[in-house]
Amino acid sequence: MKLNDLKIIVTGAASGMGRYFTQQLAAEGASVAAWDLSEEGLAAVAEENKGAAGTVKTFVANVADEKQVVAAIKASGDGLGGLNGLINNAGIFRDGLLVKVDKKSGDVKKMSLEQWQSVIDVDLTGPFLATRELAAYMIENKIKPGVIVNMSSVSRSGNMGQSNYSAAKAGLVADTKLWGHELARYGIRVGAIAPGFVRTPILDAMRPEVLEKMVQGVPLRRVGEPHEIYLGVKFIIECDYFTSRCLDIDGGTVL
């Protein structure tokens, strides 16, 4: 699929990698529906992409809310004159150990159900809802081909303190394989990317000594750049023989 034929949704588009993906896709001629909860962030995205070769239209949507996803799919399709792509990028962290003994009191602290459920809702249920609705939209409107990119994580193999996040990202890779098989008959490909540690505002906010310790676990001894992850996104979009697989772009990191 050529980028200038693409009419694609990017979730979590107001910051981090989602914002970068939106900018790069628009610069290369794609039409992008940028979804996020932040109206202010979306306004900035719209402003910075004025004059791009492609088009960027913004939509406030909570990917964990079924009614909002259904409405945003329709609005995005109407706004772009159709849809044939999706990047499930929106995600949150609510890190914590499953159980932890307080050194002073001896009390056992537990990961709360809210910590667990909030991450599952955004990071796994969100992609499920967006993928389901996009696929239905394309089938009903007889649109093909199409492509979906799921943003997983190196944490999909299990990372201490991330029971919720690891479960969501592992589930997303499993669904990538499943959805790729189920949707192939409709001309829709599905791929995933599992980034390692990537330079984003979240990473930039870490204490230098913590970041340095983390980087020591990366064979290439550095964090990734958003453009390196975008190259994976672009490959999945453009390679029409790629589906049901996950690209690990993590500098060789093993957790």
Q: How far apart are CA 223 and CA 149, in angstroms?
A: 22
Which burial class, exposed, middle or buried, applies to 79 when counting CB atoms under 10 A from its CB (0-12, 13-18, 19+)? middle
Of 165, 186, 230, 241, the active-site residue reads 165
Any idea which residue has 């992409």 for tokens? Answer: 49
186 as an active site residue: the answer is no
Per-residue DSSP letter, 33: E
| Alpha-carbon torsion angle 144, 242, 149, 184, nearest 10 | 40
| Torsional class of 21: left (φ above 0), alpha (ψ -120 to 50), beta (otherwise) | alpha
The residue among 118, 114, 115, 129 whose CA lies nearest residue 35 is: 129
Q: How far apart are CA 174 and CA 100, in angstroms?
A: 29
Active site residues: 165
